[in-house]
Structure 1
Amino acid sequence: MSDAHKSDLLLVTVTLLAAISWMFSKEAVLLMPPLLFMAVRFLIAGGFLAIVAWRPLSRLSRDQLKRSVGVGLVFGVAMSFWVMGLFHGTSMGEGAFLTSLGVLIVPVIARLAFKEIQPASTWLAIPVAVAGLALLSLRHGFQPEPGQIFFVAAATIFALYFTLNTRAANQRTAVDRQGKTIEKPRIPALPLTAIALVTVGLVTLVESLILEPWQPTFSSPPPLLIWWVLASAIVGTAGRFLVQTYAQSLATHSHGAVILVLEPVWVSLFAAGWFGETMTPVQLAGCGLIFTALIVNRWGALSKASEHH
C-alpha cells in the first residue's frame, strides 16, 4: 500500500476517533462539570504525549516553547466554548456541523491576519455555509440557542488555532522589530501537540476553579465516569492527535483536508445510534448546506489529490 493510501485510511480513522470522542465527552458532561472534564481529559492526554515526546520536548528552544504555549492558549479557549456548546446543545449532530464551520473560517483569518492569498472556491463556499447556518438558527425567527452560539464561537477560535498551529509546525521567515528577517524554525508535531494539549488542560482547569462546583463530582463520582474520561483522553484526544500527526507526515498530497470533513457526518450517525437523536427536515437541510460548503471549500485539495492517485 502506498504512503498516500495509508495516510488516507489513517485520516478516516481520525474522523471516526473524533466522532466517537463526541459520544464519550457527552456522556462525561452529563455526569460532571464540563470545564472540569476538559481539564482532566486534556491533562491526561497531554501528559501521556509528553512522556512519549520527552526527548524532542527537551530539545525545544525558548521561542519554540513560547509559540507552542501560544497555540495551546488559543486551542484552550476554543475547547472551552466547544464543551459549553456540548453541555448546552440540544443536537450533537447539528453541533458537529456548526463546529466544522471552522474549516471555512481558516482561510478568512489567513487572508486578514497573514495576507495569504486564497482560492476562489473559498469565497464561493462561505455564502453557502451562511445559508446553512441561517437554516439551523432561524427555525423560530432569529432565536439561536445557547448551544449554537457556543459552537459557532468555538468554530471561529478553532480557525485561529488551525492557522497558528500550521504556522508553528512549518518553517517560515518573520521580521523582527529592527526590520531584520529571521528564520522561525518549525516545531516538531509531537512536542507541539503535547504542549498544546497540556496548555488546554491548564486553561480549562483555571476556568473550572473559578466557575464550577467540584464537590459533588469528587465526593461521590458515578462509577462509569472514570471510564468516559479515560476513553476520551486516551482514545479521543491522545490517540486521535497521534494518528493524525503520523498520517499527515506520510503524504504531502492527500485527501486529508477533505477526509476530515467527514467528522460531522459520523457524529450525526453515532448520535442517532447512541442517543437516539433525530433532526428535523430544516436542520438536515442546514447541515447539508454546511457540508456542501465544506466540499466546495476543499475542491482544490480534492482535485489535486485525485490527480496524484
Structure 2
Amino acid sequence: MGHRSHFKAELVLLLVTIIAAFGWIFSKEALQGLPPFFFMAARFMVAGFVLCIAGRKYFHSLRWQDIKGAMTVGLVMGITMAFWVLGLDQGSSLGVGAFITSLGVILVPVFARFIFGDRPPVSIWFALPFAVLGLGCLALNGRVEFEWALLFFMAAAVSSALQFNLLSRMSTRLHVLVLTAIQLTVSGLFLAVLSALTETLPAAVPLPIFGWFLASALIATSLRFLLQTYGQSLTPASHAAVIMNLEPVWTALLAALWFSEQMLMIQIIGCVLIFLAMLISRWTQIRAIFTAN
C-alpha cells in the first residue's frame, strides 16, 4: 500500500474517532426520553439490521461453530454496553466517562496474558501505574465524592477488554461485516431482555428524541463501523490503534462545547495520565510508525 492510501485511511479513521465521540452526545440526548436498556437494544438491532443488508453476500456458507463464537462475542458486548449506558445515563461528565472507558485499551493485553496465556509487551506494565493514578484522580473528583457512574464505566472498560480479546480470535474466521452484524444483533437482543425485565417504556417518544436515536443507530453505529472497517483495511494495524486513542479526547472537547461541561484540575490531570497510559501501552505501534517513516 502506498503513502497516499495510508494517508487516506488515517483521515478516515480520524473521522471515525470524531463520529464515535459524537455518539456519546447523540446517546446522552436520546436518553432524555428513552430508557437506557431499551435505547441501546433498539439502537443495536437497527444497526445490526443495516449491516446485515450491507454484508448479505458474505453470509453464505456460515458454520454453526463460527456463529456460536460470534454470538458469544455479542453477549459480552451486550454486557459491556449495559454497563456503559448506565454510566452514561447516571454520570455527570461525558469526558470523564470516556477516559475511564478507554482504559479497556490498556486492559486488553492484560486479559490476554491471564486468560489466554499471551505475552503482552513490556510497555503495558509501564502504562498500568499511569492508568491507576489517572483513575484515582478522576474518582476523587476533587471533593472525595464517588459516583456510581464511574464504577459502571470501569466495569464497561473491563468487559470491553474481554470482548476485544474474544473478537480478535473470531475476526480471522468470519468476514468483519458478518461478525459485526451478529455482534450488534445479539447484543441488542440481550439488552432487549434486560429492558423487558427492568424498564417501563414511555407512552410516546418526542420527535427530537427519535432523531437522536436515529443518529445514534445510523451514524454513530452503522456508519462508524463501516468506515472503521474500510479504514483499517487500508492502513497497518499499528497506525489504526494509535489514531483510535483520540476518541476520549474528542468526547471531552465535544462535551465541553455541547453541554458546557467543565473539569476540575484534578480531573484534567487524571485524563492526561490515562491518555499517557494509552500512548505508553501503544509504544510498540508508535515506534513502528516512526520507524516506517
CA shift, 1:140, in A, is 6.0
CA shift, 1:6, in A, is 2.0
CA separation in 2, counterparts of 1:308 and 1:14?
23
Residue pairs, 1:99-114, within 5 angstroms: 99-114=101-116
**Structure 1 residues 306 and 140: CA distance shift in structure 2, 3 A:** closer
> After superposition, what is the alpha-carbon deviation per residue over 1:112-144, rounded to whole angstroms, capped at 9, x for unaligned?
111111111110000110000011112467643
CA separation in 2, counterparts of 1:298 and 1:270?
25
CA contact (8 A) 2:245 2:278 kept: yes
Q: 1:149 aligns with which of 151, 161, 167?
A: 151
User: 1:191 corresponds to which residue?
Assistant: 178
CA separation in 1, counterparts of 2:64 and 2:39?
30
Residue pairs, 1:200-211, within 5 angstroms: 200-211=187-198
Identity across the alignment (%): 45
Matched, 1:98 2:82: no
Q: Which portions of structure 1, spanning 4 or more consecutive aligned residues, are displaced by more than 6 angstroms?
A: none
> After superposition, what is the alpha-carbon deviation per residue over 1:184-204, rounded to whole angstroms, capped at 9, x for unaligned?
xx2110100000011111011
CA separation in 1, counterparts of 2:68 and 2:210?
33
CA shift, 1:9, in A, is 1.2
CA shift, 1:31, in A, is 1.3
> After superposition, what is the alpha-carbon deviation per residue over 1:164-200, rounded to whole angstroms, capped at 9, x for unaligned?
1111112xxxxxxxxxxxxxxx211010000001111
Matched, 1:282 2:266: yes
CA separation in 2, counterparts of 1:250 and 1:155?
27
CA shift, 1:306, in A, is 2.1
User: When the two structures are superposed, what TM-score results if normalisation uses the length of structure 2?
Assistant: 0.96
Structure 2 spans left out of the alignment, 5+ residues:
none
CA separation in 2, counterparts of 1:142 and 1:158?
27
CA separation in 2, counterparts of 1:277 and 1:253?
33
Residue pairs, 1:113-128, within 5 angstroms: 113-128=115-130
Q: 1:86 aligns with which of 70, 84, 88?
A: 88
How many residue pairs were aligned?
A: 291
**Structure 1 residues 65 and 253: CA distance shift in structure 2, 3 A:** closer
User: When the two structures are superposed, what TM-score results if normalisation uses the length of structure 1?
Assistant: 0.91
Which one-letter code corresponds to 1:203 in the other structure?
Answer: F
CA shift, 1:231, in A, is 0.6
CA separation in 2, counterparts of 1:62 and 1:32?
35
Which one-letter code corresponds to 1:45 in the other structure?
Answer: A
Per mean C-alpha deviation after superposition, the further-off stretch among 159-168 and 54-63 is 54-63
CA separation in 2, counterparts of 1:32 and 1:99?
22
CA separation in 2, counterparts of 1:57 and 1:73?
20
User: 1:75 corresponds to which residue?
Assistant: 77
CA contact (8 A) 2:36 2:89 kept: yes
CA shift, 1:252, in A, is 2.9
CA separation in 1, counterparts of 2:183 and 2:23?
18
Residue pairs, 1:1-309, within 5 angstroms: 2-139=4-141, 143-170=145-172, 186-214=173-201, 216=202, 219-309=203-293
> After superposition, what is the alpha-carbon deviation per residue over 1:234-288, rounded to whole angstroms, capped at 9, x for unaligned?
1000111111111111223541111111000000110011111110101111111
CA contact (8 A) 2:142 2:266 kept: no
CA shift, 1:58, in A, is 2.9
